Amino acid sequence: MTAEPTERFSNRVDDYVRYRPGYPPALLAWLRQAEGVTPDRVVADIGAGTGISTRMWLEAGHPVVGVEPNAAMREAAREWLRAFPGLRWVAAPAEATTLADASVDLVSAAQAFHWFDTDKVRGEWARILRPGGLAVVYWNSRVLEGSAFLEGYERLLRDFGTDYESVAERYQDDETMRRWFGAGFHGMASFPNRQRVDFDGLRGRLLSSSYAPRPGHPRFEPMLAALRELFDASATDGCVDFDYRTRVFAGALH
């Protein structure tokens, strides 16, 4: 049985916090230049998870409301980001944020967007955005080929993942996102993003994925053995490179 999206990562929170990649500085630089996004804009970070995207906005100086329905992820984020005074948390789903009408300047939706009901969130986000507000949707798409490591890692997921084929890389394509924004679409961009990890980082990155079998599953130990073999064959200076493309879409929601 496939886990509900809001609960898929509950038992992977520690690995998610420590081993998932962040977002490249070029993303915010593009929003500053192309969309005039200044640090005084109040951001609602929807599906904030463990706070990776939330931290990006906070470090750039934005006041942020983190919206996250998963209690384990939300509490991990609250602890990780406790030093930032410009942050508050709301326990709510993307489709019903409980935020007030016209209360934020920018809606941010990062890695979780493909789990949302995209018809419902469009109306909800239009409701909470102030006039002239901006919706920004972005995610890291893992590069699947181009090096022996990247191609070997993809094979490993297909060989050992529990439901990899049904949930992996489900992110919307460019044309789908253009249609979703409709007349309010402003633009899109794509940036390279690299995560360099040692074996512990690689193991944690794998176990942060909802389709990776957990300890006790018959595929768990064989998967880790295959991962060790892939790492030993691919590593340079004790590390391997995860390459991503960070894709970002921005626009108004009329």
- Between CA 22 and CA 86 the distance in angstroms is 20
Which residue ranges form the domains of the chain, and what is each CATH number? 10-142+170-196+244-251 (3.40.50.150)
**pLDDT of 16:** 62
Using alpha carbons, select from 204, 137, 211 the residue that is nearest to residue 168.
Answer: 211
SS (H, E, C) 169-232: CCCCCHHHHHHHHHHHEEEEEEEEEEEEECHHHHHHHHHCCCCCCCCCCCCHHHHHHHHHHHHH
**pLDDT of 168:** 58
Give the global pTM: 0.87
**pLDDT of 148:** 95
pLDDT in tens, the chain (254 residues): 334 454 444 445 666 667 788 999 999 999 999 999 999 999 999 999 999 999 999 999 999 999 999 998 899 999 999 999 999 999 999 999 999 999 999 999 998 898 899 999 999 999 999 999 999 999 999 999 999 999 999 999 999 998 887 665 568 899 999 999 999 999 999 999 999 999 999 999 999 888 899 999 999 999 999 999 999 999 999 999 999 999 999 999 98
**pLDDT of 13:** 63
Question: What angle separates helix 148-160 from helix 220-234, to the nearest 10 degrees?
Answer: 170
